[in-house]
Amino acid sequence: MAKTKKTELALDRKVTWRKVFQYIGKYWFMVVLSLLLAAVTVALTLYIPILTGDAVDLMIDKGLVDMAGILNLVKKIGIAMLVTAVAQWIMNTCNNYICFHIVQDIRKDAFHKIEILPLGYLDRHAAGDIVSRVIADVDTFADGLLMGFTQLFTGVLTILGTLIFMLIYNVSITLVVVCLTPVSFLVAKFIATHTHDMFQEQSRTRGEQTALIEEMVGNQKVVRTFSREAAVKEQFGEINDRLQKCSLKAIFYSSLVNPCTRFVNSLVYAGVGIFGAFLAIRGGISVGRLSCFLSYANQYTKPFNEISGVITELQNAFVCASRVFALIDQEPQVPEDEDAVTLGEAKGNVSLKKVSFSYLPEKKLIRNLNLDVQPGQRIAIVGPTGCGKTTLINLLMRFYDVNEGSISVDGTDIRHLTRGSLRTNYGMVLQETWLRGGTILENIRMGKPEASEEEVKAAAKAAHAHSFIKRLPQGYHTVITEDGGSLSQGQKQLLCIARVMLCLPPMLILDEATSSIDTRTELKIQNAFARMMEGRTSFIVAHRLSTIREADVILVMKDGNIIEQGNHESLMAQNGFYTNLYNSQFAG
């Protein structure tokens, strides 16, 4: 099992690396330019110690100082430093360009994927976790990637360049440096191996914490209503403790990088100093060249310290990247057929044949459901909670595809219709309201952006929303937030009803559409709905059975099956499950 897990982790890392390189590949020109500038920066940085060493050799003894030669070398050092600074500035600009364009591409791909993900994925994953992947994880990846471009390129080139320069001037001292180098690699490998899994756990726990915070902040009224503050604090404390522990472990191992690599650096520097000193005493090397080598030894070992830090950051960055790529790589919703038909204005004939569906394979919900709805009919769907009423609505709208059987509109299987044209033919008013940040006018216009203000007002009057909208500070131009701000639940529902009144599509779905509205307004809305439903196929989900007495057909559902079917009078005459439901509401 442990071996299998390690293999999966290795494959996951390879896939992540491959995807990162795919994103980097789009900006290959900037990458090549950055590498060239890094090479120029390193070459000039390594050239300066040579000039410094030459300057030392020109100061042989008291009174034997070649000032003209030293001034010439100082000029060269000044020019080299200026060119290095300019090259480094351009290189950093290139690195920032590459990094933040890659992050932009990843976020764009992640958001586009969310738009086409099946609703099943969104139902299974907390919104906070998805937000954490797209925002926090991508930010962490950006930080690691930028550090990689900024320090990794120059670090590797500095190591290679230093070795080449040292080999040119003295092979024996270079061998001392090379023999001590493997210690740095061993230290870096040990730290990298131990930090990856810990950063992975840290990222996962942080996503869990973000999901809890997002859920609690969005549902603060519910939490307080049921006095769940203490329980939520306890749950948050438990997640926070786990995050603290795994973060502490990850940071502990990553913090070993600096002291360990500095120790190795000191070993290399001391080795070069001692060996070079004995060589200089015997005349094998000049004092200037020895000072040059000591400078190289310092420059050679410094990148190992930086690279070890970069590797630790990259471990964290690539763990975060793997979470984002896991989202991007999710299977999208079933694509539309290449020859999918665009549904015009539907007549309203809806047919369900041997439909079976379940959210989880092991938990059956709807089984062998058959239904034939004629144009203009009002179909009421009733039954106990969890019987499949809302699921049936999800299938009609093709938010989910049936497991077996078929659903047809005007004789065409909805799987052969474009989703956009199918959903345009439905008007939905749900128990759960949905508003967008913007004006009241924009919210009502959502389904018909080209509608005039007069049309919007007419729809609002039909929905009995006009009177309360007029009392708002700026009327129809009042800006509201996504949660409706200070609007009551009933007012928000009236806006959603007005939205459908404006579009008037050929088919309607009303899922507890008046659940948050007072009784007096509900009677007026019911009359407006009755006028709106004339000639339109309508599906009405209701718990208050008094609201669906006039329906043409009432479907009584239980455990995913239609157990009774008929109008109100015929169902009451059967004295069955519907009769019991109805009488339970009017027992008085």
Same domain, 454 and 566: no
Q: Decide which of 504, 538, 556 is a domain's last residue.
A: 504
Same domain, 587 and 441: no
Number of domains within the chain:
3
Most confidently modeled range among 264-268, 330-334, 467-471, 515-519:
467-471
CATH number for the domain spanning 42: value is 1.20.1560.10
The answer to whether residue 370 sits within a structural domain is yes
Q: Decide which of 459, 486, 504 is a domain's last residue.
A: 504
Same domain, 444 and 497: yes
Per-residue pLDDT of 255-292, as tens digits, reads 776 677 777 777 777 777 777 777 777 777 777 777 77
Same domain, 464 and 553: no
Angle at CA of residue 47, ends 45 and 52, nearest 5°:
105
3-state secondary structure 248-311: HHHHHHHHCHHHHHHHHHHHHHHHHHHHHHHHHHCCCCCHHHHHHHHHHHHHHHHHHHHHHHHH
The pLDDT of residue 1 is: 44
The answer to whether residue 115 sits within a structural domain is yes
Beta-carbon contacts of residue 476 (< 8 Å; ≥ 6 apart): 439, 440, 441, 453, 456, 457, 460, 469
Residue 227 CB neighbours (<10 A): 8
Same domain, 230 and 375: no
The answer to whether residue 456 sits within a structural domain is yes
How far is it, in rounded angstroms, from Cα 70 to Cα 59? 9
Q: What mean pLDDT do residues 516-530 have? A: 71
Does 7 have pLDDT greater than 50?
no
CATH number for the domain spanning 366: value is 3.40.50.300
Residue 233 CB neighbours (<10 A): 12
Same domain, 214 and 140: yes
3-state secondary structure 203-223: HHHHHHHHHHHHHHHHCHHHH
The answer to whether residue 136 sits within a structural domain is yes
The answer to whether residue 3 sits within a structural domain is no
The answer to whether residue 339 sits within a structural domain is no
Q: What mean pLDDT do residues 520-545 have? A: 77
Beta-carbon contacts of residue 43 (< 8 Å; ≥ 6 apart): 161
Q: Which of 29-43, 299-313, 319-333, 453-467 has the lowest mean pLDDT?
A: 299-313
Pair 318, 144: CB distance under 8 Å? yes
Burial of 181 (0-12, 13-18, 19+ CB in 10 A): middle
The answer to whether residue 98 sits within a structural domain is yes
Same domain, 421 and 443: no
Same domain, 192 and 312: yes
Same domain, 404 and 516: yes
Look over the chain and give the mean of its residue pLDDT values, rounded to a whole number. Answer: 80
Same domain, 351 and 485: no
Same domain, 484 and 525: no
Per-residue pLDDT of 50-99, as tens digits, reads 777 777 777 765 556 677 887 888 888 889 899 989 998 998 898 888 88
Pair 541, 512: CB distance under 8 Å? yes
User: Which residues span the domain enclosing 304?
Assistant: 10-328
Per-residue pLDDT of 29-48, as tens digits, reads 888 898 888 888 888 887 88
Structure tokens at 62: 């008291």
The answer to whether residue 269 sits within a structural domain is yes
Residue 364 CB neighbours (<10 A): 13
User: Is the whole model's pTM more than 0.85, yes or no?
Assistant: no
Of the candidates 28, 305, 300, which has an alpha carbon nearest to the alpha carbon of residue 157? Answer: 300
Same domain, 467 and 528: no
The pLDDT of residue 2 is: 46
How far is it, in rounded angstroms, from Cα 347 to Cα 505? 10
